[in-house]
Structure 1
Amino acid sequence: MDANHVISLNIVTPDGQVYSQDVKRIIARATDGDLGILPNHFPIIATLKIAEVRTLRADDVNREDAIAVNGGYIEFKDNVANIVANSAELAANIDLRRARYAKQRAEAHIKQAVAKNDPDYRRRAEVALARAVNRIHVYNDR
């Protein structure tokens, strides 16, 4: 495949590589808005929100991959994209029951934090809720 028409995408976390694929398109949510990256895009570094990353695979243009990415950053240069994330999970690997339980637990923790007037605990619970909701969304959107 012509290197000028594909992007080599790697997603890594502290636990190791989660995704490595040649893709035709990357859609990610940066902290300042959505990014759409096609081959030969200008170089960019951006911080990522807790959100879904979608790719259009180069080996099968009818196949999109969805990855739940929980923060981190994306770097793109010379048709190579690297996402370094706090955690990431392919839609096919998401345990929906576990994600729903995490959502319920986070919602309960938010209520506790509000009752105790503990803004730090509330913020951590809100991040946990966002991660769980992201995983559920990616699972349902696959």
Structure 2
Amino acid sequence: MAEEEKVLTVNIVTPDGLVYDHHARMLVVEALDGQLGIMANHEPLIAPLKIGEVRVTRVDSTDHENAIAVNGGFLEVSHNVASIVADSAERERNIDLNRAESAKARAEKRIQAAKEKHDTDELQRANIALQRAVNRINVKNHR
């Protein structure tokens, strides 16, 4: 029982289904208010997340860390279960770096075009697309 109390179950769900489900020693997320570190027996918590990297230190080894690119959403922690619900999420091992770099280049072109047209709505959408692409690149390169 004592060993069970040191384990946090982490799962990440998107509209497409379950992306991640493992036991962890620690979870680190990018909340709107800053970075949060979550371990077993954490107080219940709900926090909105920004586009960023989620890092999970697995229980099977202190050197075994998973990185997941999450595009916003929210985190709920309760009874040693940390659940992240996001519009989209991608594990480091599944990220296609060439595709992410192409998305970054497209977003940068969209930003430039939106600035020239003074289209604030398109500029905002393009900036979000750029943040998502950069996040995926950073997670893949594990920065």
Give the match for residue 88 of structure 1.
89
Q: CA deviation at 1:3?
A: 2.1
- What amino acid is the match of 2:111? I
Q: Does 1:103 align with 2:104?
A: yes
SS at match of 2:60: coil
Partner Cα separation in structure 2 for residue 103 and residue 80 of structure 1: 34
Q: Does 1:35 align with 2:57?
A: no
Q: In structure 2, what is the equivalent of residue 52 of structure 1?
A: 53
In structure 2, what residue type is equivalent to 1:86?
A: D
Find runs of 4+ consecutive structure 1 residues off by over 6 angstroms: none
Give the length in aligned residue pairs: 142
Deviation at 1:87, TM superposition (A): 0.4
Structure 2 equivalent of residue 4 of structure 1 = 5
Unaligned stretches of 5+ residues in structure 2: none
Equivalence for 1:131: 132
What is the TM-score with the length of structure 2 in the denominator?
0.97
Task: Give deviations 1:54-93, integer Å, cap 9, x for gaps.
Answer: 0100122210000000000000011001000110000010
Percent identity reads 54
- Amino acid of the structure 2 residue aligned with 1:3: E
Q: Give me the whole-angstrom Cα distance separating, in 1, the residues matched to 2:22 and 2:134.
A: 25
Does 2:16 correspond to 1:15? yes
Q: Which amino acid aligns with 2:130?
A: L
Residue 68 of structure 1 aligns to which amino acid in structure 2? A
CA distance in 2, matches of 1:77, 1:17: 18
SS at match of 2:103: helix
Q: Which amino acid aligns with 2:87?
A: N
State the SS of the aligned residue for 1:67: strand
Distance across 1 between alignment mates of 2:39 and 2:10: 11
The CA RMSD measured in Å over matched residues stands at 1.0
Taking structure 1 as the reference length, the TM-score comes to: 0.98
Work out the CA distance in 2 between the residues paired with 1:112 and 1:11.
35
